[in-house]
Amino acid sequence: MSARRVVLWRHGRTASNAQNRFQGQLDVPLDDVGRAQAADAAAHLNATTDVAAVVASDLSRAVDTARAFTALTGHELAQDPALREVDAGQWQGLLGEEIAQRWPEEHAAWRRGEDVRMGGGENRTELGQRVAAAVERHAAAVEGTLLVASHGAALKAAVLRLVGLPVTAGGALAGFRNCHWAVLVRRGDGWVLEEYNAGPVGAGVGAEG
């Protein structure tokens, strides 16, 4: 048994997203815009996707995004801390400009796509390994389509890992927008990227990323 299709869904907007504040693993809730985005995206996914199972990062912004879907469908919601956003260490809670001022070399290297430790926390390789392994673990227990609610950097790193691309290829993919998703389809023993940054019109309002 294994999922043939995985939908990787980023959470709705938070106040930190709107401020360009680095959240990392801080538990920041959805704002009003984020809740509206989640409702729009959930309705679209429910109408267009036959989901077999739903799992989310245990951070509240991902859980509440996923619950917008499960409230419509009655699915059980599993939570997995391995799907959390990157551990960004000392960068967490800071504005992008503050990080650039305090860690100019590390921030510049990160912006170039180098595999640096963010604020002394994880690098992109470690992040991709962690999140991709969690996706694979949950997919292995599902027949049909698995819906995963997680975070922007986490999902981008997982996509690269799951389709066999190096972390240095990340610059070729835009960041996940709030409440947008990617779709991976099983091909043989691997995954193929079928959709990226997809989402309904309503989920695009106020989207960050």
**Would you name the residues annotated as active-site residues?**
11, 85
Instruction: Give yes or no for a contact between 131 and 83, defined as CB atoms under 8 angstroms apart.
Output: yes
Alpha helices (runs of H) in 94-201, residue ranges in sequence order: 96-102, 104-111, 124-139, 152-162
What CA–CA distance (Å, rounded) separates 175 from 136? 22
**Among 178, 181, 156, which residue's Cα sits nearest to residue 169?**
156
| Residue with the two structure tokens 């939570």 | 79
Beginning with the edge strand found earlier in the chain, give each strand of the sheet holding 3-10 in spatial order.
77-79, 51-56, 144-150, 3-10, 181-187, 190-198
Instruction: Give yes or no for a contact between 84 and 58, defined as CB atoms under 8 angstroms apart.
Output: yes
Structure tokens at 99: 């990080």
Structure tokens at 44: 């679209």
Beta bridge partners of 7: 147, 183
| Residue with the two structure tokens 């009003």 | 32
Helix (H, G, I), strand (E, B) or coil at 146: strand
